Amino acid sequence: MSDQSTPQAANAETADREGISRRRLLGTAGATGLVLGAAGGATGYAAAPSTAAAPLTSLGSGRAMFHGKHQPGITDPMQACGHLVAFDLAAGAGRKEAAALLRRWSDTARRLMAGEPAGTRDTDVARDSGPSSLTVTFGFGHSFFGRTGLDGQRPVALDPLPDFSSDHLDKNRSNGDLWVQIGADDSLVAFHALRAIQRDAGSAARVRWQMNGFNRSPGATARPMTARNLMGQVDGTRNPKPSEADFDRRIFVPEQPAKNDRTWMANGSYAVVRRIRMLLDDWEKLSLKGQEDVIGRRKSDGAPLSGGGETTEMDLEKTDEAGNLVVPINAHARITRPDQNGGAAMVRRPFSYHDGFDADGVPDAGLLFICWQADPLRGFVPVQRKLDRGDALSQFIRHEASGLFAVPGGAAEGEYVGQRLLEA
Q: What is the pLDDT of residues 288-318, one digit of tens each?
A: 999 999 999 999 999 999 999 999 999 999 9
- 163 as an active site residue: the answer is no
| The predicted structure's pLDDT at residue 424 | 83
184, 193 Cβ separation under 8 angstroms: yes
- Cα separation, 116 vs 118, in Å, equals 6
Among residues 347, 345, 352, 332, which one has the least CA distance to residue 275? Answer: 352
| The predicted structure's pLDDT at residue 308 | 97
Among residues 85, 153, 87, which one has the least CA distance to residue 370? Answer: 85
Per-residue pLDDT band at 257 (split at 50, 70, 90):
low
Burial of 253 (0-12, 13-18, 19+ CB in 10 A): buried
Active-site hit among 3, 122, 186, 235: 235
Strand, coil or helix: 138: strand
Per-residue pLDDT band at 250 (split at 50, 70, 90):
very high
- Residues pairing with 66 in the sheet: none
Q: 278-295: string of b/e by CB count within 10 Å (b at 16+)?
A: bbbeebeeeeeeebbbbb
At residue 177, does pLDDT exceed 80? yes
Mean pLDDT of 161-190: 96
- Residues pairing with 214 in the sheet: 81, 352
Q: 16-59: per-residue pLDDT in tens?
A: 333 334 443 443 333 333 233 333 333 333 343 344 444 445 88
